[in-house]
Amino acid sequence: MCVKEWKRIAEWEVLHYREHKAFLKGVEDAACMMTERAEQFKRWVEAVERVLVYLNRYAPDKERFFRQCYGIDGDRKMYDKKGMLRLTFLFHVSQSTLYQWRDEVLSLLLIAAAENGALQPFCRK
Rounded to 10 degrees, the C-alpha dihedral 91/94/97/103 comes to 80
Yes or no: say if 9 and 119 are a contact pair by the CB < 8 Å rule. yes
Q: How many whole angstroms separate alpha carbon 65 and alpha carbon 104? A: 11
Identify the pLDDT of residue 63: 94
Using CA of residue 41, residue 10, residue 112, residue 14, what is the dihedral sign? negative
72: helix, strand or coil: coil
Let me know if 109 is exposed, middle or buried by CB neighbors in 10 A (0-12, 13-18, 19+). Answer: buried
- The helix (run of H) or strand (run of E) holding residue 36 is helix 36-58
Quick check: 48 pLDDT over 60? Answer: yes
Identify the pLDDT of residue 64: 92
At residue 69, what is the residue type? C
Q: How many whole angstroms separate alpha carbon 77 and alpha carbon 69? A: 5
Q: Is residue 123 part of a domain?
A: no
Model confidence pLDDT, tens digit, residues 61-89 = 999 999 988 888 876 666 677 788 888 89
Domain of 18, in residue numbers: 3-116
Measuring CA to CA, which residue among 96, 75, 71 is closest to residue 84? 96
Mean pLDDT taken over the chain: 85
Q: Is residue 67 part of a domain?
A: yes
Model confidence pLDDT, tens digit, residues 84-105 = 888 889 899 999 999 999 999 9
Q: Is residue 122 part of a domain?
A: no
Mean pLDDT, residues 17-30 taken together: 79
Q: How many domains are contained in the chain?
A: 1
This prediction has a pTM of 0.85
Q: Is residue 57 part of a domain?
A: yes
Q: Is residue 125 part of a domain?
A: no
